[in-house]
Amino acid sequence: MFFVIRDGEYLETEKLLFGDIQVPQRPHEQSIFMNDEWVFDADTYLSAVEKSEAEEFLKNTDWKILRHQEQQALGMETSLSENEYFDLITERQERRKLLNDIPI
């Protein structure tokens, strides 16, 4: 098994091709090969973690938004105060900004 950079992409292959750059095995998915060594790309890693946490927050708070809207539609007292609801939707908007591909 060979570990190579081929056309700018890291690959594990059984066969070396002309132009392959043989490298050590990649230690982490977020590593980049630079100056003849693998370097951990902390910016990419932290961005991925931040996006994952944003997605989780949105998923975990969907029910609060839905409950509040249903309680309002039924004319019931809401579980969240208006300030709590406003803070929650504001925080959800901020988390969506981190995801870039989800409209605000």
pLDDT attached to residue 104 = 47
% of the chain residues with pLDDT over 90: 63
**Residue pLDDT, tens place only, 7-53:** 989 999 999 999 999 999 998 888 888 888 898 888 888 888 888 99
For residue 15, give both structure tokens.
Answer: 């066969």
Q: Counting Cβ atoms within 10 Å, is residue 85 exposed (0-12), middle (13-18) or buried (19+)?
A: middle
Q: With bands split at pLDDT 50, 70 and 90, how would you rate the model's confidence at 102?
A: very low
Verdict on whether the full-model pTM lies above 0.95 = no
Contact of 31 with 5, CB cutoff 8 Å = no
- Do 78 and 71 contact (CB within 8 A), yes or no? yes
The pLDDT value recorded for residue 99 is 83
CA distances from 84 to 64, 65, 87, 89 (A): 11, 11, 5, 9
